[in-house]
Every structure is written in C-alpha cells, then in structure tokens.
Amino acid sequence: MENNDTIVALATPSGESAIALVRVSGPLCEQIALSAFARNKSPSPRFAYHSSYRSQSGDVLDDVVYTLFRGPKSYTGEDVLEIGCHGNPLIATRLLEDLMSRGCRQSEPGEFTRRAFLNGRMDLTQAEAVMELIQARSDRAISLANRQLRGVFGRQLEELKQGLLRTVATVEAYIDFPDEDLPPEQKKAEVEAIRSVLSFCGRMIDSSKYAAFLRDGVKTLILGEPNAGKSSLLNCLLGFERAIVSEEAGTTRDFIRERVMLDGYCLQIMDTAGLREAKSEIEREGIRRTVELTEEADLFLLVLDGTKPSPTLPPEVLSRINSGNCIVVRNKSDLGQFKPLGDELSGLAEVSISATKGDETDRLKSMIVETIASHLAQNEDDIILVNARHNAALNELAECLESAVRNFEMDEPAEFIASELRGAVDAIGRITGRIDNEDVLDVLFSSFCIGK
C-alpha cells in the first residue's frame, strides 16, 4: 500500500441512485481534472464545476459535477478529486475503469481515512469515529460519533498525556539525585494529578457499556409464562403485528428478534418462548434457548398475567434480573384486580398495562428509557464510544497509574515511578495512534468500506 499512489473508489453504495460519487486521492488528481473534463482548465480548489467526462478514447461517459480539493486542506491531506455522476452502476463502473487506465488504482478498504490519519488530518480516535458514524443505529450514537469525529476524545487524551509528561519530568529530575526526595507538598500535588487521570480513565471504562448499547442496540429480552402477553407486548412496542398472538399456550417456540427506536435509543427486542414445564421436546428446546438468552441480555421485560399469581422463575433467570435491569410488566390491566407479586420480585420496577388495548404503554416506554439512561456516566460529556481497543489500552493505563501512586506512597525510587508513568503515556499513545504500529493500522482500517 503506497501513499504516493493515486487511489480511486466509488464512495456511495452500489446500486441505482440519483447520483453516484467517485472519489480520487493522490498526485494525479489535477492532471485528471485537466484531461478528463471538457473545460480543459485548471479548476479552482473547492469549487464545483459542471462538465462532460471524456474517456481516454474521447468518448463522453457522462454529464458530471466535479470538485478538486488541494492538499493539505482535503479529507486525506492530499489532492482529492470528487466526481458526481448519474447513479447508474454501469456509468460509475465505466468512470472507475477509465480512471484506472489513467494511472489510478482501486483503493483498499479504509484507505482514504488511513491516509487522512497518516497525513495528520485526524488521530486514530477520529478515524474510528468515521466508521462509528456510518454504522450508528440511533440518534444518540450519531451525536456521540460526531462529537468524537470532531476530536473531543483525542484532545482530552492529549491534555492528560501532557500532564503526565510534566509529572514524568518532575520525577526524573530526582533520578540523578538519589539522596534527595520530592518535597511533601510536591509529592502530594503529583499524586493528586495522577488520581485525577485515574478518575477520568475509570469513567471512560465505565462508559464502555453504554457505548455497546448505542453500537449494537440495547438487548431487551421479553420473558414470562405462556399467554402472559409477551407477543402482544412485542407487537405493541413495534407498532405492527410481528408476532402471532393466540389463546393457545406455547405458540412461540423460538425467539423473535426485532429493532425499535425509543427516544433516540435503539432496542434489539427479543420475544421468547414462555417459561413453564414444557409439554413437548420442541417447546423444551425453545425454553432452553430463552434461558441462554438471559446471559446476553441488557434489559429484561418480565411480563406477568396480572390476574394470576406470580410464576416461579428458573433460578438461572432469577440470578440475572435485578432492580437495575428488569421491569415487571403486569399485563391485562383491563381484566380486573391484580394478584400481589411474589417475594422474589419485590424491589423491581413495575408498570400495569393492557398490551392488547395499548393502555399505559407510553409509561412503559418512559420506564425503559429511564432504565437505559441510568447506565450513563454521571457527566454525559464523559460519554465516549469506547471500543475493545480503547478498553484494553484504558485498562493498561489505569494499571500503570495505580502502580505509580503505590510507588509514590511507598517512597519507591524515582526510576520505578517514572517507568510506570511512561507506560501510562504509551497507553494513551496507542489510543490516539501516536505510535508506529503497522499491524494495528492494518486490522483497524480493514473493517472500513472501500471508498472510505
């Protein structure tokens, strides 16, 4: 993968559309702009021009709009040429073939964003935010991805790194003077500075759960006995008849998975087989799968037939639900007075509804949103779309800082403290990409789509 190559790709999805966008990046951009378009004049940067596109053989391939962006003021930091043609896949293909005949090569997945990172147009957290933004499944995920794309996370980490480097410089100043110790007030100030970084690090790690909610959707499991109204509740939340509703018990044998948006959150809702003593092998398998799903669920909607006594739940289910992740939905409020809840369900949030009539379902939706929001960090400004790579580096950062604090408190030699602090600085560098690790970049950008 050579950065002095000129690369080309279709930047819009394949298939028919009003417009398709072909993106070119590299040193051949201006030459192509001069030879391929009917204007035959050097375009002014960042101006859109309307022209015919002529192939090398002189054929007019399409009527297009093109814009030249000169580096370093472009997405990749190089000269970039963007060509908007009609969204016929055949036209886009012919343009790509002609551009490759002019010396361009097909880009690798994520190569445009990789060049932007290598040319200093963004740090690695911003590069990852590009894919987060493309794949966002909710309004909140889009908002946080945009915030990260603007460099908020990277700037926070850079400030922390500079603070740690100042502490390293202070500590290392005493390495050559083993008989001298940091003054008590200086030591206290440095320990407080490290603890401040540790606190931020902890909040970032805690927000990883919320980031998973936004990235994948909140995995919401609908549980309960047969005929409690689980499928009716699913249909009610979705707003259409997705699940079969029947008076016959045990009609849901396998789980149904659907997505729904609630107040900016994406819920991945799973309707499951009713929990009871199975009457057949196939129903037994459905119940087994329901119990398995409790291990991956983030939120539980325990649906009860309010006119009947509380059921006895399997111990595997009881061990997973608690006041922070479960809402008891007492269904069939239109049929009369409810029976009291069992002791094992005391302390859980509850709401009474009629899933078939829609009574109080807005209250249930509000409770779902409130439960999800409770997983937010105390300060919403601290919420970052932490991924697995960030999480590993943040945990290493925390370990180094905790060790540095212990060394300070135990009056260990300055060399030990400085070593841990430098390990912390390196961990921050791995998050922002201020290190030379080609393997990490290969893995990260391989998940991007071609053209991005």
CATH number of the domain that residue 320 is part of: 3.40.50.300
Q: In terms of domains, do 345 and 395 share one?
A: no
Q: In terms of domains, do 68 and 103 share one?
A: yes
Query: Is residue 264 in a domain?
Result: yes
User: Omega before 72 cis (within 30°)?
Assistant: yes
Annotated binding site for (6S)-5-formyl-5,6,7,8-tetrahydrofolate: which residue ranges?
23, 82, 121, 452
Strand, coil or helix: 305: strand
pLDDT tens sequence across 192-223: 989 999 998 888 887 777 777 777 788 888 88
Other Cβ atoms less than 10 A from the Cβ of 438: the count is 8
Query: Is residue 412 in a domain?
Result: yes
Query: How many separate domains does the chain show?
Result: 3
Structure tokens, 259: 């997505």
CA angle 45, 56, 15 (to 5 degrees): 75
Could you tell me the residue range of the domain that residue 335 belongs to? 219-373
Q: In terms of domains, do 369 and 246 share one?
A: yes
Residue that finishes a domain, picked among 99, 118, 137: 118
Other Cβ atoms less than 10 A from the Cβ of 43: the count is 20
DSSP state of 450: T
The set of residues, in sequence order, having a beta carbon less than 8 Å from that of 196 and lying 6+ positions away, is none
Q: What is the DSSP string of 374-433?
A: TTS-SSGGG-----HHHHHHHHHHHHHHHHHHHHHHTT--HHHHHHHHHHHHHHHHHHHT
Rg (CA), the chain: 29
**Stretch (H or E) spanning 258:** strand 256-262
pLDDT score recorded for residue 283: 53
Annotated binding site: which residue ranges?
23, 82, 121, 227-232, 246-252, 271-274, 452
Q: In terms of domains, do 248 and 311 share one?
A: yes
Q: In terms of domains, do 266 and 196 share one?
A: no
Residues 22, 53: Cα–Cα separation, whole Å: 12
pLDDT score recorded for residue 112: 95
CA angle 401, 402, 405 (to 5 degrees): 85
Q: What is the DSSP string of 333-362?
A: GGGSPPPPPPGGGTTSEEEE-BTTTTBTHH
Check which CATH number belongs to the domain holding 71 and give it.
3.30.1360.120
Residue that finishes a domain, picked among 100, 118, 136: 118
Q: In terms of domains, do 225 and 369 share one?
A: yes
Residues 79, 46: Cα–Cα separation, whole Å: 11
* Angle of the 414-432 helix axis to the 152-172 helix axis, nearest 10: 160
pLDDT tens sequence across 33-56: 999 997 767 899 999 999 999 999
Q: In terms of domains, do 396 and 421 share one?
A: yes
Residues 349, 327: Cα–Cα separation, whole Å: 5
Query: Is residue 401 in a domain?
Result: yes
Q: What are the distances in angstroms from CA 244 to CA 267, 272, 444?
A: 20, 12, 42
Does residue 47 contact residue 102 with C-beta atoms inside 8 Å? no
Q: In terms of domains, do 303 and 251 share one?
A: yes
Annotated binding site for GTP: which residue ranges?
227-232, 246-252, 271-274
Query: Is residue 345 in a domain?
Result: yes
Query: Is residue 439 in a domain?
Result: no
Q: In terms of domains, do 82 and 24 share one?
A: yes
DSSP state of 310: P
Does residue 247 contact residue 257 with C-beta atoms inside 8 Å? no
Does residue 64 contact residue 51 with C-beta atoms inside 8 Å? yes
Q: In terms of domains, do 231 and 369 share one?
A: yes
pLDDT score recorded for residue 251: 46
Query: Is residue 448 in a domain?
Result: no
Query: Is residue 148 in a domain?
Result: yes
Q: What are the distances in angstroms from CA 365 to CA 196, 219, 234, 301, 371?
A: 37, 15, 12, 11, 10
Q: In terms of domains, do 55 and 12 share one?
A: yes
Q: In terms of domains, do 359 and 224 share one?
A: yes
Structure tokens, 204: 């970032």
| 300: β partners | 221, 326
Residues 179, 209: Cα–Cα separation, whole Å: 47
pLDDT score recorded for residue 305: 82
Q: What are the distances in angstroms from CA 226 to CA 249, 330, 353, 419?
A: 5, 14, 17, 61
Query: Is residue 273 in a domain?
Result: yes
Strand, coil or helix: 3: coil
pLDDT score recorded for residue 214: 75
CA angle 425, 426, 432 (to 5 degrees): 95
Q: What is the β-pairing status of strands 218-224 and 299-305?
A: parallel
pTM: 0.73
Residues 279-311 as b/e (b if ≥16 CB within 10 A, e otherwise) read eeeebeebbeebbebbeebbbbbbbbbbeeebb
| pLDDT < 70: residue spans in the chain | 1-3, 40, 176-182, 240-255, 273-287, 336-340, 375-383, 434-452
Check which CATH number belongs to the domain holding 128 and give it.
1.20.120.430
Other Cβ atoms less than 10 A from the Cβ of 130: the count is 21
